[in-house]
Each structure stands twice: as structure tokens, then as C-alpha cells.
Amino acid sequence: MLFTVGRLAYRNYELNTEEANLKNDIAVLQNEIQSLKNQIVYYQSDAYKEKMIRAKLGMKKEGEKVIVITPGAEIKEVAYEADEENMTNPQKWLNYFF
């Protein structure tokens, strides 16, 4: 009789643990479902559609100005770097940090 009660108590413990784990999994999945629903609403919104049209097709609204930056544009170096050969080592460190 003692063995049967012990076995039933252990089985009850296992079932309670499994139930807690399943409830936790349900909560995680419900959060994921809600997140996916929010993404669906966002992807169907006009703001997202406008963002994609602007990004992929390069369109603009009336009255807006578009600035195009081409790759490979040369960047001019600051003039003080040209005089680096004449600088002392502490001056070079100051220029490096500031």
C-alpha cells in the first residue's frame, strides 16, 4: 500500500510539472502569435506600403526634394593631416584623440 501511494504521488508530481511546462509553452506561443498579428497589421498598413514604394522604386511625394549620393565619391582629407610629417609625436597623439 505504501509503495502504491508513493508511486501515485510521484506520478502526480510528474503530471503537475508537465502541466506547468505546457502552460509556459502556451504563454510563449500566444506571445508569438500576438507578435505575428502585429506584424501582419503593420505590413498591411499604408505607412509600410509607402516605405517600400520609396525604398524599392525611389518614388517621392509632391514637393519633396531628393538628394542622391553616388558611391565612390571622394572624401577630402583634413588639411592638418598633410603637415603630419612636421609634427612632434605628442602633437600627433593630440590630433589622433581630438
Q: Would you list the DSSP string of 7-72?
A: HHHHHHHHHHHHHHHHHHHHHHHHHHHHHHHHHHHHHTSHHHHHHHIIIII----TT-------TT
pLDDT tens digit at each of 98 positions of the chain: 888 999 999 999 999 999 999 999 999 999 999 999 999 999 999 999 888 888 888 777 788 777 777 776 665 554 545 566 677 888 888 888 87
Domain assignment present for 54: yes
Residue listed under C-alpha cell 593630440: 94
Which value, in Å, is the radius of gyration of the alpha carbons in the chain?
A: 33
Domain assignment present for 10: yes
Its domain, for residue 65, covers: 2-69
Domain assignment present for 76: no
Domain assignment present for 22: yes
> For position 65, what pLDDT does the model report?
77
Note the pTM of the prediction, 2 decimals: 0.50
